[in-house]
Amino acid sequence: MRFSFATLDLVVLLSTWLPLSSALPTLPPLADYQIRNFQTINKIYQFTVYPRQEAIIAQVTSDSIPELEPLFSPTVSGRIQEIGNFTNFRHSIEYFFGLAPRPQGSMYSAIVEAELTQFSSDHPSIAASTVNFKVALDNPSKPGFGAPGTRTYTYLKQTGFWHFDEQGRVDYYDLYIPALNEFATILNGADFNSKLVQLLATKQICQGAQKLCKGKNTQYHPQIGLNIGGVLNALGLSPLLDLPLINQLGLGSLNLGELTCFAKLSAKSFGTFDKLWADTVTCRIVHLMLAEVDPDDHCEHVGPTGGGKCVEYPYYDRQFKDNTLFGDTRRFRSASYSTLST
Ligand SMILES: *[C@@H]1O[C@H](CO)[C@@H](O)[C@H](O)[C@H]1NC(C)=O
């Protein structure tokens, strides 16, 4: 025994004598800017909770979005690893709210909670945060989000740094989503490493692209003379040996524009959700979600050239071009630390 009865008596005596609170270290009060920065980031993430993003999405192409004006600078610019850079207000808004899952189609899921599990701000212009999104995966065969059925949950994490202008609006952000590929697998309930899943996803993208990108936004113009036999041949599939796979693909349901798209995209590498900034099908899956909220801006990213977004972009440029993106290589480091030697 470490304590004698006498010591214990003393502890009991002291704790009745001293109020408990004065025995604990007192927390320093938060500065106004700390409260403001926390609330700004928290409000941004609360707008991703379904159905709150719907009102924002409905306004993405309008000149002003009153709900977001206190939260984002009109010149906001940022990077989301490994998705891409979003160098203006419209693209940033589309990223933050257009990619929040919506319960529709075969992906019947949505964010139901967003919690800032980590937060620190020791300078009026800078904060670091981590958010855990709680994502509900509902059963698409039981329509009506939240309908009694088989609901399971998963989580998504986003972490990184924020920079605020003098009015406390976010003007720069540099954020990272870890393990996005595994999250996409859980979200879709599909193994994206399977060739069949990859080809079915490509087919779905093509049907979506032709439906959403019309008129001047059309990306895949029907290629006269293209036929299913030729497309299968180019894929290296044999009508004899791969018949089950070919049947499951059901390319016969595609029109000529969709088939043209399928021929072009199935020749590209499928890619991974852990590296979306590339000339891949996975990049186009994400940009099709953005094309759904803003076809004028995002259809060309889904197209054959990738429109400057779904293109190969060198490792160094993706990770380290802070100067072009943030106008400073130490945008997220308080100048006060400059005096410290490294
Ligand atoms: C943003 O990314 C694109 C490629 O997607 C690149 O061409 C462009 O230079 C980047 N912009 C900045 C400011 O880093």
pLDDT digits (tens, 9 = 90+) for 97-114: 999 999 988 789 999 999
Domain positions in the chain: 32-189, 195-316
Would the pLDDT of 40 be above 50? yes
Q: Is the overall model pTM greater than 0.85, yes or no? A: yes
pLDDT digits (tens, 9 = 90+) for 172-184: 999 999 999 999 9
Distance from C-alpha of 302 to C-alpha of 312, rounded to nearest angstrom: 14
Would the pLDDT of 23 be above 80? no
Instruction: Write out the H or E segment, with its range, that includes residue 98.
Output: none
3-state SS string over 290-341?
A: HHHHCHHHHHHHHCCCHHHCCCCCCHHHHHHCHHHHHCCCCCCCCHHHHHCC
CATH of 32-189, one of 3.65.10.10, 3.10.450.50, 3.40.50.2300, 3.90.1010.10: 3.10.450.50
Residue with the larger pLDDT of the pair 147 and 84: 84
Would the pLDDT of 11 be above 80? no
**Which DSSP string do the residues of 213-236 spell out, in sequence order?**
S-GGG------TT--HHHHHHHTT
pLDDT digits (tens, 9 = 90+) for 112-130: 999 999 999 999 999 999 9
Confidence of residue 66 (pLDDT cuts 50, 70, 90): very high
The structure tokens listed for 50 are 């379904």
Q: Which residues line ligand 1 (CB under 6 A)?
A: 84-85, 87, 308-309, 313, 321, 324-325
Helix crossing, 281-293 with 195-212: angle to 10°? Answer: 30
Would the pLDDT of 320 be above 80? yes
| pLDDT mean over 3-10 | 47
| pLDDT mean over 82-94 | 95
Q: Ligand 1 center to residue 80 CA distance, Å? A: 12
Residue nearest to atom 8 of ligand 1 (CA): 85
pLDDT at res. 1:
40
pLDDT at res. 141:
86
Residue nearest to atom 10 of ligand 1 (CA): 85
Residue with the larger pLDDT of the pair 147 and 307: 307
| DSSP conformational letter for 272 | B
Percent of the chain with pLDDT over 70: 93
Give the residue carrying structure tokens 């257009």.
98
pLDDT at res. 38:
98
| pLDDT mean over 223-244 | 91
126, 161 Cβ separation under 8 angstroms: yes
- Phi, psi for residue 334 in degrees, rounded to 5: -65, 140
User: How far does Cα 155 stand from its chain's mean position?
Assistant: 12
Instruction: Write out the H or E segment, with its range, that includes residue 204.
Output: helix 195-212
Substitution site in 77, 80, 81, 85 for ligand 1 pocket (most atoms within 8 Å of beta carbon): 85
**Beta strand spans in the chain (E):** 72-81, 84-86, 103-104, 107-123, 126-137, 152-164, 170-176
Sign, CA torsion 79/84/88/90:
negative
Residue nearest to atom 14 of ligand 1 (CA): 325
pLDDT at res. 5:
47
pLDDT at res. 148:
83
Q: Ligand 1 center to residue 85 CA distance, Å? A: 6
Confidence of residue 337 (pLDDT cuts 50, 70, 90): confident
Name every residue whose Cβ is closer than 8 Å to that of residue 193 and which is 6 or more positions away in sequence: none
pLDDT at res. 185:
94
Residue nearest to atom 12 of ligand 1 (CA): 325
Ligand 1 atom closest to 313 (CA): 4
Least confident of 46-60, 137-151, 224-238, 247-261: 137-151
Would the pLDDT of 198 be above 80? yes
Substitution site in 92, 280, 286, 313 for ligand 1 pocket (most atoms within 8 Å of beta carbon): 313
Distance from C-alpha of 212 to C-alpha of 281, rounded to nearest angstrom: 17
Confidence of residue 339 (pLDDT cuts 50, 70, 90): confident
Instruction: For the chain, give the mean pLDDT.
Output: 91
| DSSP conformational letter for 275 | B
Would the pLDDT of 131 be above 90? yes
Give the residue carrying structure tokens 């202008």.
165
pLDDT at res. 65:
95
Sign, CA torsion 240/244/249/255:
positive
Would the pLDDT of 87 be above 50? yes
Name every residue whose Cβ is closer than 8 Å to that of residue 191 and which is 6 or more positions away in sequence: 185, 197
Distance from C-alpha of 246 to C-alpha of 314, rounded to nearest angstrom: 35
Would the pLDDT of 12 be above 80? no
